């Protein structure tokens, strides 16, 4: 079984934020894989399609590890079979980068996950761009995408879908691919 986690924040006010790209992509994957909702426990929304579990933690970004740990432990999923999908301000808008393990790069959602399950899981990093000044980061990631930015990112949704079936191969095929 593979666990695909989209990081984001619950609530309509965050729905189209840059920080919620993980939720947006998991919503797309849920539809594409004809997934069924199987639970609202685990402090999140859990869907299943075949060998895939799709999960959206509802703990808010900074506490994502709490809910991810609950699902991981309940289903006894090894970190090798966990794929975390999240925003990355160090990548250009729409760029994809695949990575296993390593630093959380200051991403608070990943910090929480790393603290509770370790950092040896797969990541699909989606570039959302960076503001001009460091002090603008929080407001920037909590702002909505401009239409052209979201279209650019949406062009890579199909590549992300393909990547979850064989992330090792995809990591060399799609990494750093821009829209």
Residue with tokens 């809910």: 67
Residues 6 or more apart from 134 whose CB is under 8 A from it?
Answer: none
Residue 82, SS3 per DSSP: strand
- The one-character DSSP state at 28 is H
Mean pLDDT of 137-164: 92
2-173 is classed in which CATH architecture? 3-Layer(aba) Sandwich (3.40)
Could you state, in order of their start, the residue ranges of all structural domains in the chain?
A: 2-173
Of 2, 6, 18, 19, which is the active-site residue?
Answer: 19
User: What percent of the chain clears pLDDT 70, i.e. is strictly above it?
Assistant: 94
Write down the pLDDT at residue 130: 93
* pLDDT higher than 90, residue 176: no
Whether 19 sits among the annotated catalytic residues: the reply is yes
Neighbours of 49 (CB within 10 A): 16
pLDDT digits (tens, 9 = 90+) for 114-129: 999 999 999 999 999 9
C-alpha 102/C-alpha 15 separation (Å) is 28
């Amino acid at each position: 079984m593979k666990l695909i986690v989209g990081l984001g924040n619950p609530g309509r006010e965050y729905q189209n934020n840059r920080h919620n790209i993980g939720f947006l992509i998991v919503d797309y994957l849920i539809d594409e894989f004809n997934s069924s909702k199987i639970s609202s426990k685990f402090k999140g929304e859990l869907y299943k399609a075949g060998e895939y579990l799709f999960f959206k933690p509802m703990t808010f970004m900074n506490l994502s590890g709490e809910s991810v740990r609950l699902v991981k432990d309940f289903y006894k999923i090894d970190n090798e079979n966990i794929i975390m999908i999240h925003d990355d301000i160090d990548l250009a808008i729409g760029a994809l980068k695949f990575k296993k393990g390593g630093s959380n790069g200051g991403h608070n959602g990943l910090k929480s996950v790393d603290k509770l399950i370790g950092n040896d899981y797969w990541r699909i990093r989606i570039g959302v761009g960076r503001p001009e000044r460091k002090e603008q980061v929080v407001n920037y990631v909590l702002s909505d995408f401009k239409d052209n930015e979201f279209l650019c990112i949406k062009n890579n949704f199909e590549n992300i879908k393909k990547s979850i079936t064989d992330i090792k191969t995809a990591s060399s095929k799609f990494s750093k691919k821009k829209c």
